[in-house]
Every structure is written in structure tokens, then in C-alpha cells.
Amino acid sequence: MQIKIVKDKLAGGEAAFDMIKAGMANNAKVLGLATGSTPITLYDKMTASDLDFSNMVSVNLDEYVGLPASNDQSYHYFMNEHLFSKKPFKATYVPNGEAENVEAEVERYEKVIADNPIDIQILGIGRNGHIGFNEPGSPLDGPTHKVALTQSTIDANARFFENESDVPRYAISMGIGSIMKSKEIILMAYGEDKADAIQATVEGPVTNHVPASVLQNHANVTLILDEAAASKLSK
């Protein structure tokens, strides 16, 4: 596990972009992508660059259950706004949150991952240590699945919705086992409110109480952190 300390999220986005650029030069073809505020500076660098993604495939981590792609809080919408409308990819995959049969969609999406092995996976981290929507207690070898979101995650997401009651209670998420199959993983975290999760991820035991701690078992992981997010690390 390598750790890169950066000045701020702008520098973090640039560092992650440089790693993606190097990976593409080394024949990476599939990017695993994340949503939320953390990767926005990376996507800004990608869209401002002259890199050509038209031969690349993207596979997103997750999507809310019940939100249409046209909803401005859906992850389909987020990805189109921040990346896909500006940089065309060969193919882009995001779980279908409107699927009538969620279990069938889960199986379909796990096959998408199997058919498009991820070269570089981008991750953020929740304050409770979740990656994707794999909340504490998720199996560390689990496949894509339907997730009941914890109250802390619902509370964290409530700021994006008009009413707390509008926040989705379920999501489809790539499983931890699916994430761990990625050849390379880049996790970005910024701000003091992520410091406890980062400390537990890096220095704590590997436990499903802190899902991101499983990254200790991956052969090629880089954490890109600002000083606040890294502030509780002992070294």
C-alpha cells in the first residue's frame, strides 16, 4: 500500500490523473469509476486533457435503486455531467437503478465486471470506512449486490435531496470481492472527517467493520490523501 500526501484535492486529482495516464500508456483498457465529490477534480483533469478515451471502457461502482438516469442525483447523471458528455468512452457501464428485477440486474452487472476486468479502480471512502456502497458488515469477498444503506450514509447523502425522505434507502453496488479483482486501485480521501477511516484502513486490523481495510490485502493500492485525511496515521 503506497501513500501519497498531496496539498489539496486539486493536487490529488492531478496525481490520480497522472497514474491513469501512465496506466493507459501501459495498455490499461478498463477504468473502474466512482462518484461523489472526491473524484471530481480527477474528472476535471481528464476532461481538460488531450487524452483519448474512445478506446476505453468504464465500469462504475454503484447506483441508487429507484432513481431514473435522468434524476440529477443519480450516478448516471453525475457521470454524464462530469465526464462522459465531455470525453466519449468506447463503452460505459453503470448499474440500472430502475431495473424491475434488482436481483437480475445484480447478476447482469457482475457479468459486466467479469467481461471487462478492471485495470484501474478509483475509490473514495466513507466516514464509516465504506467503499462503493459496501457498508460495515459487508462480506470482504462479496460480489455485486443490493445494499440497504446505513443511517449514517443516508444522513450524509441527505444534503443532496430536498427532503430526507427522498434519499434512496437501497443501492446496487460492486461488491468488495469484485473491487479486489481490479489490477490497480487508487483511493482518494480529503479532509479531517476522513482521518479516522483512513487510520483504520491503513493501520487497523482487516475487518468487515471497516470495509476499506481489506485493501491491505491487495497487491497494488495507492492512497492519495491530503494532510488532514492523513493526520491520524502514525507514520
DSSP string for residues in 142-207: --SEEEEPPHHHHHHHGGGSSSGGGS-SEEEE--HHHHHTSSEEEEEE-SGGGHHHHHHHHHS--B
Q: Which of 60, 96, 128, 134 is catalytic?
A: 128
Query: Quick check: is 135 catalytic?
Result: yes
Q: Are strands 170-173 and 145-148 parallel, antiparallel or unpaired?
A: antiparallel
Mark whether 26 is an active-site residue: no
Residue 59's SS3 state is strand
Catalytic pick from 60, 62, 98, 145? 62
Calculate the CA dihedral of residues 38, 105, 24, 224 and round it to 10 degrees: 20
Catalytic pick from 130, 145, 208, 226?
A: 130
**Annotation says 82 is catalytic:** no
> Is 217 annotated as catalytic?
no
Catalytic residue among 63, 135, 184, 226: 135
Strand order in the sheet with 62-64: 62-64, 170-173, 145-148
Active site residues: 62, 128, 130, 135
